């Protein structure tokens, strides 16, 4: 079944918007999510393809309603539970 | 996309997960900050601009770059090894009758190790869905109106290779130094949504 | 497995996989031309399922937009694994 990430040739998305002088990250936590993912892949907790797969498995409405790094963090959270590193309740402060 | 409240909420969750992983021995203290610092000191569009400027002034380098970019990059002190693993780079050259443009329709693959993070528009569904289907009108929206006779080639980074566009050297730049030429090259030029 | 070579005409698989795939939907069941062999890697579709699989050749395959979408005068080059492809035998004498 095709997934929501697979958008090549699809109609209906909003106009392309350029952000002048865009920073590398918009928020500090985004940089943390980026670094966290790299650290977990390097440690072999999961691989890059599992990480992409975990994003693609997000419910479509959540996927489209999330920012780029919100998707990343959701995928990391999913994989930490699936790999047995954490229980779902462990991930909430 | 997050408002301030949502942002502080997810920020707290990220810190919490980091602390949890540290306590379970899956992260070292300070590891995240080190990675963030390394990333900030890593890839930047200026690297791509240096590669392009060298290719404009040195035909031999240009040939080597197009034949095997990974082997040619060390000539300008660069490599593709800065990320999770060394990645294959393919450089595609614009010509009088052809123009190249890059996309990743499945996610957001981009030569981060060389060029740093990609712009948000490159990661957007809006760009990724349309450029593969109707590149000419997408490029026109970026202000790049290509002649009808220019063939457009779209490169979808769907697997392990990463790509970079070698723009055409602008006319009237014969007197510029290599550094001055590099100053003309933009990130959009390296992606293919600008002429240079 | 006999690797494809530049110039070979290949057809992408039509299967609609249950999980992660790096064969974009718009390029399914399409005929294109191998332009370059781009190393060899384990199939991402398998790695995403946590499988430890051997490397296989990866190719840059160029499609005419017309063969993907029915119109368009541009080309689209997609990077695909050997398992995504079959030799295209249609239309040959």
CA distance C54 to chain B (A): 15
> In this predicted model, what pLDDT tens digit does every residue of B150-185 receive, in sequence order?
999 999 999 999 999 999 999 999 999 999 999 999
Please give the structure tokens belonging to residue B181: 């030429």
- Cross-chain residue pair B153–C75, CB shorter than 8 Å: yes
The count of structural domains within chain C is 1
Domain around C68: 9-87
pLDDT digits (tens, 9 = 90+) for B11-36: 999 999 999 999 999 999 999 999 99
| C-alpha span between B177 and C77 (Å, rounded) | 34
Q: Binning pLDDT at 50, 70 and 90, where does residue B6 land?
A: confident
* Interval B119-130 mean pLDDT: 98
Class assignment of domain A28-87?
Answer: mainly alpha
Q: Does any domain span residue C47?
A: yes
B84-111 pLDDT, tens digit each = 678 999 999 999 999 999 999 999 999 9
Query: If you count residue pairs, one on B and one on C, with CB atoms under 8 Å apart, how many are there?
Result: 66
Report if residue C1 sits inside a domain: no
**pLDDT value, residue B1:** 46
CA–CA distance, B15 with B34 (Å, rounded to integer): 15
Query: What is the third-level CATH fold of B45-191?
Result: Nitrile Hydratase; Chain A (3.90.330)
Instruction: Give the per-residue pLDDT at A1.
Output: 85
Rama region for C39: left / alpha / beta (φ>0; ψ in -120 to 50; rest): left
**Does some domain include residue C24?**
yes
Backbone angles phi, psi at C40, to 5 degrees: -140, 140
In chain C, residues 14-73 whose CB comes closer than 8 Å to chain B: 22-24, 26-27, 36, 38-39, 41, 44, 58, 60, 62, 65, 69, 72-73
**pLDDT at residue B3, rounded to an integer:** 63
pLDDT for C90 equals 65
Q: What is the pLDDT of residue A49?
A: 97
* Residue C4 counted as domain residue: no
Does the structure show a pLDDT above 60 at C80? Answer: yes
Which residues of B21-179 form beta strands (DSSP E)? 89-93, 98-103, 151-156, 162-166
For residues B46-70, average pLDDT: 98
Q: How high does pLDDT run on average in chain C? A: 94
CATH number for the domain including C81? 2.30.30.50
Q: What pLDDT does C92 receive?
A: 47
| Nearest-angstrom CA–CA distance, C28 and B112 | 28
Rounded percentage of chain B residues whose pLDDT exceeds 90? 91
The yes-or-no verdict on residue C65 having pLDDT over 50 is yes
Q: Write out pLDDT tens, residues A22-65.
A: 999 999 999 999 999 999 999 999 999 999 999 999 999 999 99
Active-site amino acid positions of B:
104, 107-109
Q: If you count residue pairs, one on A and one on C, with CB atoms under 8 Å apart, how many are there?
A: 34
**CA-CA distances (angstroms) from residue B163 to B93, B145, B146?**
11, 22, 21
Quick one: pLDDT at residue C93?
A: 38
Cα–Cα distance, B20 to B2 (Å, whole number): 24
Best to test chain A binding among B21, B37, B123, B140 (most A CBs inside 10 Å): B21
């Amino acid at each position: 079944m095709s997934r929501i990430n697979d958008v090549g040739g699809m109609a209906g998305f909003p106009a392309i918007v350029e952000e002048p002088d865009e920073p590398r990250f918009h928020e500090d936590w985004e940089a943390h999510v980026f670094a966290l993912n790299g650290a977990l892949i390097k440690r072999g907790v999961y691989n890059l393809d599992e990480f992409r797969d975990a994003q693609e498995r997000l419910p479509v409405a959540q996927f489209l309603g999330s920012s780029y790094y919100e998707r990343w963090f959701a995928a990391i959270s999913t994989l930490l539970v699936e790999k047995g590193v954490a229980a779902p309740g462990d991930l909430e402060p | 996309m997050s408002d301030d409240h949502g942002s502080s909420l997810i920020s707290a969750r990220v810190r919490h997960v980091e602390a949890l992983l540290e306590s379970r021995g899956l992260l070292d203290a300070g590891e995240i900050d080190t990675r963030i610092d390394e990333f900030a000191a890593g890839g930047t569009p200026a690297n791509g601009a240096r590669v392009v400027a060298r290719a404009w002034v040195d035909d031999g380098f240009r040939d080597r770059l197009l034949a095997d970019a990974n082997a040619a990059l060390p000539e300008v002190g660069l490599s593709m090894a800065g990320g999770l693993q060394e990645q294959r780079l393919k450089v595609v050259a614009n010509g009088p009758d052809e123009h190249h443009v890059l996309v990743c329709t499945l996610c957001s693959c981009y030569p981060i190790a060389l060029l740093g993070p990609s712009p948000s528009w490159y990661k957007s569904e809006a760009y990724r869905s349309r450029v593969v289907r109707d590149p000419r009108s997408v490029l026109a929206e970026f202000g790049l109106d290509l002649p009808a006779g220019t063939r457009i080639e779209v490169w979808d980074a769907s697997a392990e290779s990463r790509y970079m566009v070698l723009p055409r050297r602008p006319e009237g730049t014969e007197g510029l130094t290599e550094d001055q030429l590099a100053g003309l090259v933009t990130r959009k030029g390296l992606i293919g949504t600008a002429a240079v | 497995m006999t690797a494809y070579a530049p110039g070979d005409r290949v057809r992408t698989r039509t299967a609609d996989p249950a999980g992660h795939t790096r064969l974009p939907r718009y390029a399914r069941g399409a005929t294109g031309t191998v332009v370059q062999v781009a190393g060899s890697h384990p199939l991402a579709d398998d790695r995403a399922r946590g499988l430890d699989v051997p490397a296989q050749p990866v190719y840059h395959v160029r499609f005419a937009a017309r063969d993907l979408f029915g119109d368009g005068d541009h080309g689209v080059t997609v990077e695909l694994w050997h398992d995504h492809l079959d030799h295209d035998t249609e239309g040959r004498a």
